[in-house]
Every structure is written in C-alpha cells, then in structure tokens.
Structure 1
Amino acid sequence: MGQTRRRCATVPALAALLMAAPGGASATPGAGVDAVTLSDSTADNSHYVAKLLTIAPGGGTGWHFHPGDVFGVVRSGTLTHYAADCSVDGMYPAGSTITERSGPGYVHAGRNEGPDPLVMWVLYVNPVLDPADPVGVPLVVDAADPGCPMPGSG
C-alpha cells in the first residue's frame, strides 16, 4: 500500500535480518500483488529499499527486470520464478532465499501458483547515479510479455 510501517536503524542490520530469517516489486501490474515499504535509505552511493510483498493465489508480478541487485526471503507460500525463455528457473518455498540478477538481459516474472498467499521480504540495492537524485533509478522496469503460456500471462 506504499505506507511506511517501520524504519530499520541500519541497512546492515536489515540485510542481516533478511538473509538470516527463517522460512516492484510489481513492474507490469499483476493480479493480487501488494507491496509495503519497510525501509528506504541511501548510503555509500547505494539506494536501499526493503519491501514486504504479498501475492495472492493466482497472482504475479508481471514481466520486468531490475537495474540493481535484489535479495529476497520467502516467508510463506511458494514463489514460482519464470525466465524470459518461458522456463521455470526456480521454485522457492517458505524459508528459501532468492537473489536476482540485474539488467535488461534478465527479464523475468514471479507468480504464486499455490493455494495460499505468498509473502516475501525483498531488499533492492540500486546504484546512485546522481547524488542530487539518489532515488532516481527505478526498482523495477517493465518488460514486454515474451509470449510465455503461463497462468495469468498476457
């Protein structure tokens, strides 16, 4: 819903929490995607944004790529991750961690194909290209549907 629920004291503490926790985001609007910003800060020429993502059963992120690094922890449900060649390049159940490559060469989509809500913590780390506009790089960039016959595609 875009509101801030809490701010973390330090980015390293948040990163440690995300990676140690047990078991766009939405670029092209996907059905049933809700994102809540947990933290948003800039340090050492990087912009850090932590979000809590919830994807309803049958929902998905839409096709996109990330300009920066992305790290996630699946808290509940299962993430089905699609590559632009239409293959499933990962299934991530609760407790799994995921790291996504960056750049337009890594177009992908995430879906919840299970019966329960998918809940994830996601940390986006973008480069700061202009010190006068530290949040100028988007977290996600829309990409065209590559024509994959997956549930809810197109």
Structure 2
Amino acid sequence: MGGKVFDTDDEPECVHEDRRHRQDGHAESHIWPEPVTCRTVVALLEEEVPLPVITDLRYDSAEPYSIVITFNAGTNMVIEWELGRELLDSGRRRLDGFGDIQIWPAEIRGHGLVYMSFRSGWESFVVAASAVAIDEFLKCTFEVVPLGEERSSLAVESFVSQLSDET
C-alpha cells in the first residue's frame, strides 16, 4: 500500500456533536444521543491496484454497542455494515471476528493499517483503512460512552424514552 490511497487520512475528519451542555453553559447529564462521525478513505482490495473508497464511520450513544460503516465507491450503490464497536477496537490490536466480519491490524512500509473482511452469502470484500483514522474514530466514541459503560448509557436512554412516552 503506497502513500496515495491514504494521503487524505493524515488528519481524519471526525465530528462529535457534544449535546451535554445546556445553553446557559452548565453541564448536564448525558440525556440526548451523541453521534460521532468520521469520514475517511479506505482501499478496496479487489484488484491488483487498490481502489480508494470514501467511507463514513458512525457511532451513536443511543446504540452504544455498535457502529455503522458506510462505503461509497462513487456509484449509486452504497454499502452499509453494522458491527460491534468492541470488535473494531479488538481487531485494531489482533485478529478478531468470525463469520461475516473479520478485522486485523498490519503495518506496511511504516504505515499502520486495519484490514476488514466482509462476507454476505457468496460475496465478500476486503478493505484496508488507516490505523490513525480508526484510532481517532474509536477515541471519539470512547469520549461519548467509555468502553464497558454501554449498559449505563442504555439505562439513561430508556429513562428518557419512558419520560417522553408519559408526556
């Protein structure tokens, strides 16, 4: 993997909409879902030459255990996969996953990469993402809901949902 596929990844574009502060500037407890999005470029490894694909990684505290990866190869077809946030984090350090999704780290020519293999039926594809982009995205998600505290986030969301149903 040469430099050109990941040149745009040197500074990942991650956005975290922090909704924990009221307009008067005082912090309040985590009540509203907090989305995190990160746009990056991955390399689709189907041909001899990797194909750059614009990819969005999304996380929302309302669904604290999962993330959504959306691949857009510049066609009308957009491919979306939902996977566990913990799987992405673990796959960043070692081979993890089985069945439809597997993730593993690698280093090529001094560049940290994260490979992701996706399978649906007989079709499958593999992409390589910048480890820097994956790390930045995960860091932002952990700021919203720390790893291991997903259950407490669900309890708050359920409470808010119950309150809104009663009004």
- Tell me the TM-score normalized by structure 1: 0.31
Q: Which has the higher contact order (CA 8 A, sep 6+)?
A: 1
| Greater C-alpha Rg | 2
TM-score by length of 2: 0.29
